[in-house]
Amino acid sequence: MRDIFQRHGTDARIVINPLYDQIALNPKDLAVLREIFGESKVFDFSGANAITEEMRNYYDPGHYRPPIANWVMEQVYRERPAQARAAGR
């Protein structure tokens, strides 16, 4: 996947979602993802945290509400350079 993304100039981000079950991604799996895609491209919101501790953040255990989705996307894309944002990339 990484090679295909690079070949096509895809700026992919890997997001490990904050599911209500609070099970954290295996640290070895997270390390592999970061090795493949790059430390700055992998975002882990799994496990116990402020999002997963609040039941009202979810419609059900697998679907979080739009404000949480918006916050996650803000975290994922906040470091993008201003010129890339303006160009729609």
Helix (H) / strand (E) element for 8: namely: helix 2-8
**What is the spatial distance between Cα 22 and Cα 49, in angstroms, rounded to a whole number?**
8
Average the pLDDT over 70-77 and give the result: 94
Q: What is the pLDDT of residues 6-61, one digit of tens each?
A: 999 999 999 999 999 999 999 999 999 999 999 999 999 999 999 999 999 999 98
